[in-house]
Amino acid sequence: MAMSGGIDSTMAAVLLIEQGYQLEGVTFRSWDSISKACMERETGCCSVDSIFEAKHIADSLGFRHQILDIRELFKEKVIGNFISEYMRGRTPNPCVVCNKYIKWGALVELADKLDCQYIATGHYAQIGCDEGRYYIKKGLDATKDQSYFLWQLSQENLRRTIFPLGTFTKQQVRQMAAEHGYVKLSKKRESQEICFVPDNNYRNFLHDNSPEYLNVPAGDFISTDGRVLGRHKGYPNYTIGQRKGLQIALGQPMYVTNINAENNTVTLGTKDDLLCNTVYVSDCNLMKISNIDKPLRALVRIRYRSKGGMATIEPAGKGLRITFDEPIDSVTPGQSAVFYQDNDLIGGGIIDNYQQNRCE
């Protein structure tokens, strides 16, 4: 049982015990912040306080708990990807990477050592199985559904996974926590931040952890037709779709529409310039079906909070081409495109960059 010390993993453990499972608890020690801002707000699933809270909860529920030090693996897989993607002019999704290599990488290895049949987490998602293939289904609570972050899980990972909270709403979980005596947890405000960036400022994180970031000079803002519009602070400081904080006045709202790391240029355009119909993805993983060898209709979400849009998905080289019925805005290289049919997750892929003909 992966335990963060928060309400979700705590109630997931409670539900499993009530269902007769024998639990082994584990909490990851993943990241020691060196940022002053982060240390002042040491919160989230990798803080020292959360580790001790998880141990206290496991002790109170009567099962063993251990701390798994995966700092080196986390630094290599999650932090390394986070920094390298920004330095390529892309926007990473660290939760997707963490789920693949940490929560279903290191956790599965530990489960094998402990002779545990299953692994469980407090995610709001469900597991389905059809014709021998396992897949993720959306959680019942649409406002908390976390299926978007789980598209990289393998069939073996899915076969061994239990999501006790998948059929509950967050409000129900809070009520259950209060009824079981976890009143303080039931009222705790949730953090929406990346666990290793608790001040919610990725630029501060890059400043403290990436020498390469410090060496990026100022560059040019350019228009969609290549005209120089002004100077920017260095391309890693910007993300696709950004409007605020550009510190340039052009007489109308302007948005970041392209980031060229090689030339250190940031393209600005209008809201309409953010629209595109066709997106290319690579590093794909399919769940409910084993392959896409002909056009497939699905709803595609290009970021966690997006409603998505209906699209046709087709093979394209080593990846997939996604053609949306209606133009979609702010498609961001490095983010995930995740495919759904109704509540079932078909699969997903990493959105490629502009140089790889992302939009047309």
38 is a catalytic site residue: no
Residue 57, C-beta contacts closer than 8 angstroms, at least 6 positions apart: 3, 5, 10, 13, 25
Residue 46 pLDDT level (bands cut at 50, 70, 90): low
Distances (CA, A) of 358 to 179, 280, 286, 330: 50, 5, 20, 12
276 is a catalytic site residue: no
Catalytic member of 38, 95, 98, 359: 98
Q: According to the model, what pLDDT value does residue 188 have? A: 85
9-21: pLDDT as tens digits: 999 999 999 999 9
Residue type for 248, please?
A: I
Domains and CATH numbers, the chain: 7-186 (3.40.50.620), 217-269 (2.30.30.280), 274-356 (2.40.30.10)
With beta carbons less than 8 A apart as the criterion, state whether 152 and 95 touch: no
- Whether the CA torsion 287, 288, 289, 292 is positive or negative: it is negative
Model confidence pTM above 0.75:
yes
Please check the confidence at residue 68 and state whether its pLDDT lies above 50.
yes
Please check the confidence at residue 356 and state whether its pLDDT lies above 90.
no
Catalytic member of 38, 46, 195, 284: 195
84-95: pLDDT as tens digits: 999 999 999 999
Of the candidates 194, 133, 203, 126, the one whose C-alpha atom is nearest the C-alpha of residue 166 is 126
Work out the burial of residue 29: count CB atoms within 10 Å of its CB; fewer than 13 is exposed, 13-18 middle, 19 or more buried.
middle
- Whether the CA torsion 143, 149, 155, 159 is positive or negative: it is negative
User: Average model confidence (pLDDT) for the chain?
Assistant: 92
Please check the confidence at residue 44 and state whether its pLDDT lies above 90.
no
- Whether the CA torsion 28, 33, 37, 42 is positive or negative: it is positive
